[in-house]
Amino acid sequence: MSPLIWSLLITSLATSTIITMSSHHWLLAWVGLELNTLSILPVIIKSHHPRATEAATKYFLIQAAAAAVILLASTLNAWQTGHWSIMHTSAHTTTIITLAILLKLGIAPMHGWYPEVLQGSTMNTALIISTWQKLAPLTLLYLINNNPPTNILLLMGVISALAGGWIGLNQTQTRKIMAFSSIAHMGWLIITLNLSLHLTTTTMMIYMITTTAMFMSLNTTTTKTMTDMGMAWTQSPPLTTMMMITLMSLGGLPPLTGFTPKWLILNNLCHMNLLFPTIILAMASLPSLFFYIRLAYFTTLTTPPNTTNTHHKWRFKPPLIAGLTPATSLAALLLPLMPMMIS
């Protein structure tokens, strides 16, 4: 792919997200979502591999179906209310649009496409899908938050946290593990829409920081399976240590950054007397924490046979380390700044 086409796609990807985030008209928001989908498809299929073709096809079908439902619901809303404003959406239409947005985000039980798309993509493309592509749908959830379907968001958030943890236990591919990690984190995130938009923003920021740091670590070490993770320690112990700390932050262990949103969400749920969802979410975080600890174990405490410092030198990408260090530092040490960010 030529640099001109590549820069055009990235610019279109950024512009489409900004269009959706800054729009107050349903038709303009739908145009931004469609342009966003069309911009990411050539990036997914860039490697010209059958798995990449399959991933691009699945991504296109899911995103197009969800965007069509959003367009249908917004048209019905305009028919009933007489205007296209996002801020003035009826309750029934809001429920339909919310379900379509949750499909675009890969929230369980509508998550089956998400791990397959990430597995068929490159690590950098999987990073974009897991972070930047979440911004536009989440912005629409922000804008329709005046009359959200509270029970649906709470139920699907709990299901996503459970599904992301339990199904992730059975995975050995790092991209699929990160996919189910993203599903679990999105479950926690949409629950915060019922609690506080400030907390939702904080949770999203921490999710993007920790996920970016983890994908950059995996990309730097070209780690595709759990077995590959054992080969990183012999080449670069400091890099492997940062990757292990990032994994623990994703799992939500104190005093790392990832502990903050889970602590605040459970605290807010307890104050609202939602004890049953609080208990389920606390228990759902344990399977996720287990496979993060398992990845850290493979990274630091195991070494596959026949690995030497010279044999696997080709696996590492030194230019990426310059951006990796600040990302992992934020993923691990942002906890002292949390009171200032939330206030």
Q: What is the mean pLDDT of residues 231-248?
A: 78
Distance CA 172, CA 22 (A): 39
Reported as a pLDDT band with limits 50, 70 and 90, residue 244 is confident
Between the alpha carbon of residue 15 and those of residues 1, 25, 36, 45, 50, the distances in Å are 20, 16, 8, 20, 29
More confident residue, 279 or 306: 279
Q: What is the mean pLDDT of residues 31-60?
A: 94
Reported as a pLDDT band with limits 50, 70 and 90, residue 113 is very high
| Side-chain-facing half-sphere of 281: CA atoms under 13 Å | 30
Q: Which stretches within 252-333 are classed as H helix?
A: 259-271, 275-300, 321-333
Reported as a pLDDT band with limits 50, 70 and 90, residue 336 is low
Distance CA 147, CA 94 (A): 7
More confident residue, 20 or 337: 20
Q: Residue 171 has which token pair?
A: 């995975």
More confident residue, 336 or 138: 138
Q: What is the mean pLDDT of residues 129-136?
A: 95
Which 3 state secondary structure label does DSSP give 294?
helix
Q: Residue 141 has which token pair?
A: 């959830």
Tell me, what's the pLDDT at 175? 94
Which 3 state secondary structure label does DSSP give 85?
strand
Tell me, what's the pLDDT at 97? 94
Dihedral sign for Cα atoms in the order 106, 110, 114, 117: negative
Q: From the CA atom positions of the chain, what is the Rg in Å?
A: 20
Q: Which stretches within the chain are classed as H helix?
A: 3-22, 26-44, 50-81, 91-105, 113-119, 123-130, 135-143, 150-168, 174-192, 197-220, 226-229, 237-251, 259-271, 275-300, 321-333, 338-342
More confident residue, 236 or 319: 236
Q: Residue 31 has which token pair?
A: 């145009």
- 67, 37 Cβ separation under 8 angstroms: yes
Which DSSP letter does residue 173 get? B
Distance CA 173, CA 145 (A): 36
Distance CA 9, CA 13 (A): 6
pTM > 0.85: yes or no:
yes
- The secondary element (H helix, E strand) that includes residue 106 is none
Q: State yes or no: pLDDT of 44 exceeds 60.
A: yes
Q: Give the angle 109-105-285 at the CA atoms, nearest 5°.
A: 60
Q: Residue 56 has which token pair?
A: 């691009």
Longest dimension (CA), the chain: 70
- Tens digits of per-residue pLDDT, 50-109? 999 999 999 999 999 999 999 999 999 999 888 899 988 888 899 999 999 999 999 989
Which DSSP letter does residue 48 get? -
Distance CA 310, CA 64 (A): 47
- 97, 89 Cβ separation under 8 angstroms: yes
